[in-house]
């Protein structure tokens, strides 16, 4: 089925949020990183400015900057309305109000869109989608990230997730996925099965992080290669 922009509700986060969501310390930030489902986040743009190494993967990168900007503006009111309706699902400490949230997300998405065309030509924004085999050799990256995509979109199914994680682990020495809640701020129904699937051949942990916007959403799933794992 073709990937259609009208089905995407773009919403981008920034480097400070990524650092907090994934416990990225100074040494992590120096690693070669691939971010899956990176969408309109400004993580890649801000990391590139710091001379760091990030590649972003997302099917929305097939669209033009103008098409994406049009979609950001079209969905903005809808997302803000939904957030207001579910205001109790969120902690308003790091981000203090709905107004501040809207400003932060629009700033991140504008930063992304201003970097998009250049980043595409530099191979930093790549239009590919999981669970397809991506165009990189085994273990090309130290660290793979997924923010607000895998596990959260549990409706994509367990098989989709298992295949996606297998591909991420083919490419990366370690992967981190945040959050481990679903879209309704409940523990994702596929989490336990995913842990079971990978814990025999990999090192699997759930770790606390320094970010909790969705109430209860302050943990990430970390999966690392151990010496036994075959890729």
Ligand X SMILES: C[S@@+](CC[C@H](N)C(=O)[O-])C[C@H]1O[C@@H](n2cnc3c(N)ncnc32)[C@H](O)[C@@H]1O
Q: Contact positions toward ligand X, by CB under 6 A?
A: 8, 10-13, 36-39, 41, 57-60, 129-130, 147-149
Q: Which long-range contacts (CB under 8 A, 24 or more apart) does 2-8 make?
A: 3/59, 3/60, 3/62, 3/129, 5/60, 5/63, 5/67, 5/68, 5/71, 6/71, 8/39, 8/60, 8/71
**Phi and psi torsions of 200, nearest 5°:** -75, -45
Q: How far is the CB of 14 from ligand X (least distance, A)?
A: 8
Q: Which is nearer to ligand X, 68 or 223 (CB)?
A: 68
Q: How far is the CB of 161 from ligand X (least distance, A)?
A: 11
Q: Which is nearer to ligand X, 44 or 174 (CB)?
A: 44
Q: How far is the CB of 40 from ligand X (least distance, A)?
A: 7
Q: How far is the CB of 227 from ligand X (least distance, A)?
A: 29
Buried b (16+ CB within 10 A) or exposed e, 147-173: bbbbbbbbebeeebbbebbebbbbbbe
Q: How far is the CB of 199 from ligand X (least distance, A)?
A: 24
Q: Which is nearer to ligand X, 149 or 198 (CB)?
A: 149
Q: How far is the CB of 126 from ligand X (least distance, A)?
A: 10
Q: Which is nearer to ligand X, 54 or 191 (CB)?
A: 54
Name the residue number minimizing CB distance to ligand X: 39
Q: Which is nearer to ligand X, 147 or 188 (CB)?
A: 147
Q: Which long-range contacts (CB under 8 A, 24 or more apart) does 22-31 make?
A: 22/145, 22/147, 22/176, 22/178, 22/209, 22/220, 23/176, 23/207, 23/209, 23/210, 23/220, 28/143, 31/141, 31/142, 31/143
Q: Which is nearer to ligand X, 102 or 201 (CB)?
A: 102
3-state secondary structure of 144: strand
């Amino acid at each position: 089925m073709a990937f259609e922009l009208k089905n995407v509700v773009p919403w981008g986060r920034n480097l400070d949020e990524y650092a907090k969501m994934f416990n990225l310390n100074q040494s992590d930030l120096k690693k070669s990183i691939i971010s899956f489902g990176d969408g309109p986040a400004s993580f890649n743009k801000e990391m590139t400015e710091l001379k760091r190494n990030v590649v972003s993967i997302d099917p929305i990168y097939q669209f033009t900057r103008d098409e994406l900007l049009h979609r950001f503006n079209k969905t903005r009111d809808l997302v803000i309305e939904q957030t207001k309706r579910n205001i109790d699902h969120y902690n308003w400490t790091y981000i203090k109000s709905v107004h501040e949230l809207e400003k932060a997300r629009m700033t991140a998405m504008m930063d992304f869109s201003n970097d998009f065309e250049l980043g595409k030509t530099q191979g930093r924004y790549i239009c590919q989608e999981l669970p397809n085999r991506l165009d990189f050799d085994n273990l090309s990256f130290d660290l793979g990230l997924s923010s607000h995509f895998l596990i959260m979109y549990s409706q994509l199914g367990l098989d989709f997730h298992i295949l996606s994680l297998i591909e991420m682990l083919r490419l990366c020495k370690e992967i981190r996925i945040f959050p481990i809640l679903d879209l309704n701020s409940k523990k994702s129904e596929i989490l336990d099965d995913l842990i079971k699937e990978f814990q025999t051949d990999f090192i699997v942990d759930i770790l606390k992080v320094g970010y909790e916007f969705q109430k209860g959403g302050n943990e990430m799933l970390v999966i690392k290669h151990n010496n036994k794992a075959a890729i």
